Amino acid sequence: MVGSLACGSDRLRAMSTANPGLDADAVSDALTHHLEDVRPPYAFELIAAGGSNLTYRVTDDTGRRLALRRPPAGPRLPTAHDVEREWRILSALADSAVPAPRPVWYCADPDITGAPFLVMEFVDGRVLRSAADSADLTDAEADVATDSLIDTQILFHTVDLAAVGLDDLGRHDDYVGRQLKRWRTQVERADTRPTPLLFELHDRLAVARPMPRLPVGLAHGDYRFDNTILGQDHRVAAVLDWELCTTGDPIADFAWSLQYWADPDDPVTFLADPPTIHDTFPRREEVARRYAGRMGIELDHLDYYTAFSWWKQACIVEGVYGRRLLGSRGGGITADPAEIAVKADLLAEQALELARGVV
């Protein structure tokens, strides 16, 4: 059964510490009741990836696999971790050229397992999360993966928003201004500690933001290798984690993704163990050249978008720090809160350095 349905439960159930945010019994009952082509019992396995929505691999008695997504367990900031939004986007892209997991079911009832959740098809393949994950790629395989990552981003940056029903997903003006407001607001709501540098940079970035040069497109908001699944041909088979997606400036969205592309001599990196660090991968400058060439554009104001991206990442990590202090647990959040705070400070200092002479 495919559709967006609310399912009910008249009791709250205890969550397993091994499976945060998942009441296996209640979810099993709901899956059996609402899906026609699955068979209990189900095995649930947490896929630890990132510090955001929890993702579970669900395997039924016949061996069929699905993926279940729900917000992190515990306190979370308003407007964050919106699985209903992710459901809408997956549904809209189901028949498009953009590779994304096919949506199966959305459950709006928070009583089932403590929050709404979505179920989608499980896509087999390889995820490059760390340097170890990509260490065995040859030069040719890494180049194919690079090209596919770029080409797939161009696909959703240029998708016909009206044709897929996402024209009203967000406003079509001032994407960077909206992002600046959103992430400053999230830092204010987290209210973890004084962060004067983040607020100072916000004000400087807001004044200096450039006018967009491209028509509005679908901005994923967190596109990188470890939010994709590569097939056996090393090409992108599915793009994951659409919860931050909106309509926006493709260049700003690309510049954000570009910061995940770590070069060997980078003093600070977005990821602790980036998969692109090997010599088999082209360098970040070449990635930017390929994207610009295939889009037929010049990447004007890339220095600004780079500084903005580092500021945004500092705000996001500050939010993770706040959620961790409150006891929230997302997939992969295992670091001590103090370590998360140190990382947020490093990101903010790098944003300040990149902003010199730009804003």
Distance CA 61, CA 40 (A): 5
* Stretch among 72-76, 213-217, 221-225 having the lowest mean pLDDT: 72-76
pLDDT at position 78 is 52
> DSSP assignment, residue 174?
-
Q: Is 153 helix (H, G, I), strand (E, B) or coil?
A: helix
Q: Is 71 helix (H, G, I), strand (E, B) or coil?
A: coil
The rounded mean pLDDT for the chain is: 90
pLDDT tens profile 165-209 = 999 999 999 999 999 999 999 999 888 899 999 999 999 999 999
Higher-scoring residue by pLDDT: 88, 8: 88
pLDDT bin (cut points 50, 70, 90) of residue 76 is low
User: DSSP strand E in 225-264: where?
Assistant: 228-230, 236-239, 246-248
User: DSSP strand E in the chain: where?
Assistant: 3-5, 43-47, 54-59, 65-70, 103-107, 117-121, 217-219, 228-230, 236-239, 246-248
How do strand 103-107 and strand 3-5 relate by DSSP bridges?
A: parallel
pLDDT tens profile 95-138 = 999 999 999 999 999 999 999 999 999 999 999 999 999 999 99
Cα-Cα-Cα-Cα dihedral sign, residues 254, 242, 317, 185:
positive
Do 1 and 36 touch, CB atoms closer than 8 A?
A: yes
Do 54 and 64 touch, CB atoms closer than 8 A?
A: no
Q: So where are the chain's domains?
A: 3-121, 131-355
This prediction has a pTM of: 0.90
pLDDT tens profile 268-320 = 999 999 999 999 999 999 999 999 999 999 998 999 999 999 999 999 999 88
Compute the average pLDDT of residues 214-239.
Answer: 97
How do strand 246-248 and strand 54-59 relate by DSSP bridges?
A: unpaired
pLDDT bin (cut points 50, 70, 90) of residue 359 is confident
Hey, what CATH class is 131-355 in? alpha beta
Compute the average pLDDT of residues 43-52.
Answer: 76
Distance CA 113, CA 9 (A): 9
Hey, what CATH class is 3-121 in? alpha beta
pLDDT at position 230 is 98
pLDDT at position 105 is 98
Preceding amide of 41 cis, omega within 30: yes
Instruction: Please report, to the nearest 10 degrees, the dihedral formed by the alpha carbons of residues 216, 220, 221, 223 taken in order.
Output: -130
pLDDT bin (cut points 50, 70, 90) of residue 1 is very low
